[in-house]
Structure 1
Amino acid sequence: MIEMLRKINLSRAVRTMQELFPEEYNFYPRSWILPEEYQQFSTQIRMVRENDATVNPTFIVKPDGGSQGDGIYLIRDPSDLKLMTGSQAKQAVVQEYIQKPLLIDKLKFDIRLYVLIKSLEPLEIYIAKEGLTRFCTEPYQEPSQKNLSHVFMHLTNYSLNVHSGNFVHSDSQSTGSKRTLSSVLYRLAAKGVDIKKVWSDIIALVIKTVIAVVPELKVYYQADIPPGKPGPTCFQILGFDILLMKNLKPVLLEVNSNPSMRIEHEKEVAPGVFEYVPSPVDEEVKVGVIRDTLRLMDPGHKKPSISQPRAGGSEHRDEIPMEAGTRERSPDEGGLPSLCLKQVYPKYTKQFNFLRLVERIAALFIRFLGVKGNMRLGPTAFRTFIRTCKLSNSNFTMASVDILYIDITRRWLGTVPDSREAGMGLQAFVEAFFFLAGRRFKSLVLREQVVSLLELCEAQLESQSGGEDRRSVSCSRALPRAVNSQTLGLANPQLGSPAPLRRARCYLNH
């Protein structure tokens, strides 16, 4: 999980989903991966300025392995990037800075939401009904060359703002520099904001983000966990950092694989003398998350009852974060409060299952890996995949297959510094699959190309194994043949040819 949620890997996973479902994944800022995409970033910014001299966007640079705001800085020109650490190139993500954040008390803030991944097979996701809001400590101004270095104005990280002279440790859950999410939502509701819609959008963002990272997680998982082991084998609490824009649209900033669970802060009671002081806001949110995670994961304990969704397509709009102190007691669990963790998946499977296309590609990838614990596909295994699914022909010979494998694998290995593992990883395999789908089904848009190739591969596997493999390979049925994607509002003729597809096409022209 730590590896998957590094900023570069998360950006790549979301970007793949943006290629397939651009309208569904528009909650993540446009990003470039450094140093490999520096030239592309510089060229695009130059073109934007040439087209309109009044446009001067701001960007935020985040070190790949950074945490707690460490190493983050703002720039307005590519030449301001700090690309080197000594003799080594810095791995980082540069993102468009969100220009119009929602302000409260003239301050920028973000939301920290705790999410429990209870299991991968089947996928189970829970969201805490209460979260934190972390406020900047300097009144917000739109970024300019003069204020780019004002971290207390632009960056919401608690670990940065706690060092500001303006930081307010409050005993109230609705004032100070750290507040409960419910106190902020109810304040917005008093101004007429539809907070059920805001909460619904946040839930959708969380589910879509988890769906984006699950395929690669499953590759790691199968390498370590014995197949067929009953019950949940591992779980993880994640910290989602979300920004609300002025128009109330939630934007994903990042996901933390190991979010802080401290419920106290240091206070200087005398020069150089510190003591730990309880934080009521942290306690209100985090104690419930830890307690209820243990209740859900304890296999010997009576399972907490989970409310079933009501009929209709938008049931996840009904429950919003609760006001502090309103939790009911649960008599069947020794007087413990009712669960503060709300199940959102598989509860809302119908709304989101069509997004799980890349998981089906990952299932093919895992099937052809062969040796237990292996996480990369060798050239022979890739050839076996092509032959088994009958993807070669007179126009696409096995020699062409080898060229495709070598070129894509070499380029992906070049993006990982000091990588000693040979072979094709999942992200490279997904790019190859997109290429093969585009080659085979030229007249369709990318998403429909991918669905068509998946169905072809899964049908071939089923025919060769009497139906047994199809159940394991098809981890979810996305867009069945009988359903027209346009009726689901998914078709996008503007998609064109995504970058990996364009790159892969040129390989076979050499």
Structure 2
Amino acid sequence: RASKIVYWLETKYEILPEVCGSFENWKEAPSAAYDFDLLWCDTAIAADRFVKLKLYQKMNHFVGMSSITRKNNLGRNLLRMRKQFPKEYKFFPDTWILPTDLSDFKAQFNAKNKTFIVKPDNGCQGKGIFLVRDLEKVPMDFSTTYVAQRYIHRPFLLDGFKFDLRLYVFVVGCDPLRIFLHKRGLVRLASEPYVEPTGKNIGQAMVHLTNYAINKMNPDFVENTNPDDARDGHKRSWEAVQDHLRSCGHDVDQLVAEIEDLIVKTLIAVQPSLSHFYHSCQPEDVENAMCFEILGFDVMLDHKLQPWLLEVNHAPSFAAESELDQVVKTEVLTDSFVLLNFSPDERRRKKREAREKMEQRAMGVSTKQSMEERAVLEQQIARERTVWEDAHLGRFKRLYPSEAKEREYLQVHDAAVGIWEMLMGGTSRRSVRLTEAPPEDGDGRPDAEGKQERRKAAGEPKSEKEKEAPKRTPEQVREVVERLMAGCSARPRPGERGRRRGSKGA
């Protein structure tokens, strides 16, 4: 154990144990209760499980990532950002959350020949997706939440087929965000030639939908046999297709830059909530390194080669049903695990520090780290980690953070923080940044928390805002978390609690 990295996998995919077993000093844990370094789970991991992790352990999901991986939450969060930045957040189709936006959605049918694609908010693999052109076909009995989007009528085609991109985005930190895009990716084609939607053909899923799970059922579906061939099969290599587009005279560099931009902006929209959940669950961690996530960003290109974000998957498939799948997914997983920088020495160091802190507490000699000291330490660790990551990227490309990117997205990030504070009804934790000194206020104490501590030390009375904000009970905290993960305000509207109580007792 002393010299090994121990992993525990809760997965149905054979490629995971294959990749983990390929590392020389890794071994599988005998049970979930074992002292592991890496926890991998195909499904989302509950917050209470994350709370119990030790500082040297890592898991493959962030608490709260459902803010963008559930379709309705993604729509809500991006629409909020679009209100403040209409041009910056125009990379996703017009979206309606049903039944919430039903009246506005109905008004869209006043114009002729409009097509919309409707999806269940928690669906996957194309299940439950359908196209509508008539108001009468919109379901009015909403037993679940749906997301409706304007259909992209003129998609870019490959050999006459509609397609989308499955891009692998690696997030290895939330404060600051640490975002990487793998150069490998998949191009997934529909298995029937594309025709514009009409009332007669909107039910032809294999024409209009590009989901692999749907199209592989077509007897005419062709598996890729050559990953380097951009015209082989109904699933192709993104790298090969990029080369093909360049040979046709398209500006692929501009396309890739726009894709990278939409990825960063999507994650920035929910960074404050990810950071809040993370620090609430693991308040002692200063390294921002206990969670990681491989996200599947699904992007479609229109006839002008403009990218459109369709959805974000928190559990992209790692099934290897072809040579192309095996090559792409093996490289994505291998490069991801390298970038996580597992180290037996680091584990021993953190265990030793944890023991020392416990002994100091028992002896009554422990000293609490000031907020200023913590801010300096977090920034120092973030800078050192950035240098290490840049030397071990493999086939990943860093999208964020860097000094240039922090400046570029500063206004957008500040807006996301403002939205979070409005929903939360309080002050957000100041984000760790590479480009600025830790924030100081007067006597060197960071932000609003420092002000509160100084007033308390000076014997000053609480502000009106502090008096109005009593400490939440555990039940209220759970309710807040559920509301925020669903993209709603942390504070129920006036009368909402009363209505709930009334309906419960009725």
Aligned to 2:120: 63
What are the equivalent positions in structure 2 for 1:45-84 lying under 5 Å apart? Answer: 45-46=109-110, 49=111, 55-84=112-141
How far has the Cα of 1:286 moved from its partner?
1.0
CA contact (8 A) 2:190 2:208 kept: yes
CA contact (8 A) 2:191 2:234 kept: yes
Answering whether residue 262 of structure 2 is matched by residue 205 of structure 1, we say yes
Answering whether residue 205 of structure 2 is matched by residue 123 of structure 1, we say no
Answering whether residue 334 of structure 2 is matched by residue 291 of structure 1, we say yes
What 5-or-longer segments of structure 1 have no aligned partner? 50-54, 265-278, 309-331, 371-383, 389-397, 406-418, 433-510
Larger deviation: 229-238 or 15-24?
229-238
Q: 2:245 aligns with which of 157, 182, 188?
A: 188
Answering whether residue 285 of structure 2 is matched by residue 225 of structure 1, we say no
Partner SS state of residue 479, structure 2: coil
Answering whether residue 233 of structure 2 is matched by residue 170 of structure 1, we say no
Give 2:277's aligned amino acid: Y
How far has the Cα of 1:423 moved from its partner?
9.6
Answering whether residue 69 of structure 2 is matched by residue 14 of structure 1, we say no
Scaled by the length of structure 2, what TM-score is found? 0.62
Give 2:164's aligned amino acid: D
**Quick one: distance in 1 between partners of 2:195 and 2:286?**
54
Given the superposition, is the C-alpha separation of residues 420 and 196 from structure 1 closer, same or farther in structure 2, using an over 3 Å criterion? closer
Larger deviation: 355-364 or 17-26?
355-364
How far has the Cα of 1:430 moved from its partner?
9.0
Deviations 1:282-324 (A, max 9, x none): 122111111111111124289897797xxxxxxxxxxxxxxxx
**Quick one: distance in 2 between partners of 1:424 and 1:119?**
22
**Quick one: distance in 2 between partners of 1:300 and 1:423?**
33
Q: 2:479 aligns with which of 414, 418, 421?
A: 421
Partner SS state of residue 130, structure 1: strand
How far has the Cα of 1:219 moved from its partner?
3.2
CA contact (8 A) 1:83 1:90 kept: no
CA contact (8 A) 1:296 1:304 kept: no
Aligned to 1:481: none
Give 1:193's aligned amino acid: H
Answering whether residue 66 of structure 2 is matched by residue 3 of structure 1, we say yes
CA contact (8 A) 2:421 2:427 kept: no
Given the superposition, is the C-alpha separation of residues 57 and 207 from structure 1 closer, same or farther in structure 2, using an over 3 Å criterion? same
What are the equivalent positions in structure 2 for 1:240-279 lying under 5 Å apart? Answer: 240-264=297-321, 279=322
Given the superposition, is the C-alpha separation of residues 42 and 128 from structure 1 closer, same or farther in structure 2, using an over 3 Å criterion? same
Answering whether residue 183 of structure 2 is matched by residue 140 of structure 1, we say no
Deviations 1:190-228 (A, max 9, x none): 111111111111111111111112233233323322244
Given the superposition, is the C-alpha separation of residues 230 and 135 from structure 1 closer, same or farther in structure 2, using an over 3 Å criterion? same
Partner SS state of residue 143, structure 1: coil
**Quick one: distance in 2 between partners of 1:153 and 1:422?**
42
CA contact (8 A) 2:480 2:490 kept: no
* Aligned residues: CA RMSD: 3.4
Answering whether residue 402 of structure 2 is matched by residue 344 of structure 1, we say no
Give 2:272's aligned amino acid: P
Partner SS state of residue 246, structure 1: coil
Answering whether residue 101 of structure 2 is matched by residue 101 of structure 1, we say no
Aligned to 1:36: 100
CA contact (8 A) 2:175 2:288 kept: no
Given the superposition, is the C-alpha separation of residues 217 and 78 from structure 1 closer, same or farther in structure 2, using an over 3 Å criterion? farther
Partner SS state of residue 184, structure 2: coil
Partner SS state of residue 94, structure 1: strand
Given the superposition, is the C-alpha separation of residues 200 and 306 from structure 1 closer, same or farther in structure 2, using an over 3 Å criterion? farther
What 5-or-longer segments of structure 2 have no aligned partner? 1-63, 346-384, 429-447, 453-463, 470-476, 493-506
How far has the Cα of 1:357 moved from its partner?
2.2
Aligned to 2:165: 111
How far has the Cα of 1:425 moved from its partner?
4.8
**Quick one: distance in 1 between partners of 2:388 and 2:160?**
39
CA contact (8 A) 2:168 2:296 kept: yes
Aligned to 2:21: none
Deviations 1:386-418 (A, max 9, x none): xx9xxxxxxxxx99x99xx9xxxxxxxxxxxxx
**Quick one: distance in 2 between partners of 1:171 and 1:225?**
46
Given the superposition, is the C-alpha separation of residues 29 and 109 from structure 1 closer, same or farther in structure 2, using an over 3 Å criterion? same
Given the superposition, is the C-alpha separation of residues 287 and 344 from structure 1 closer, same or farther in structure 2, using an over 3 Å criterion? same
Scaled by the length of structure 1, what TM-score is found? 0.61
Deviations 1:99-147 (A, max 9, x none): 1100010000000000011101121100001210000000000000011
How far has the Cα of 1:340 moved from its partner?
1.1
Equivalenced residue count is 342
How far has the Cα of 1:229 moved from its partner?
3.7
Give 1:6's aligned amino acid: R
Instruction: Give me the identity figure in percent.
Output: 35
Give 1:421's aligned amino acid: E
- Of structures 1 and 2, the one with the larger relative CO (CA 8 A, separation 6+) is 2
Larger deviation: 226-235 or 163-172?
226-235
**Quick one: distance in 1 between partners of 2:339 and 2:480?**
40
**Quick one: distance in 1 between partners of 2:421 and 2:177?**
14
Given the superposition, is the C-alpha separation of residues 424 and 139 from structure 1 closer, same or farther in structure 2, using an over 3 Å criterion? closer
**Quick one: distance in 2 between partners of 1:6 and 1:307?**
29
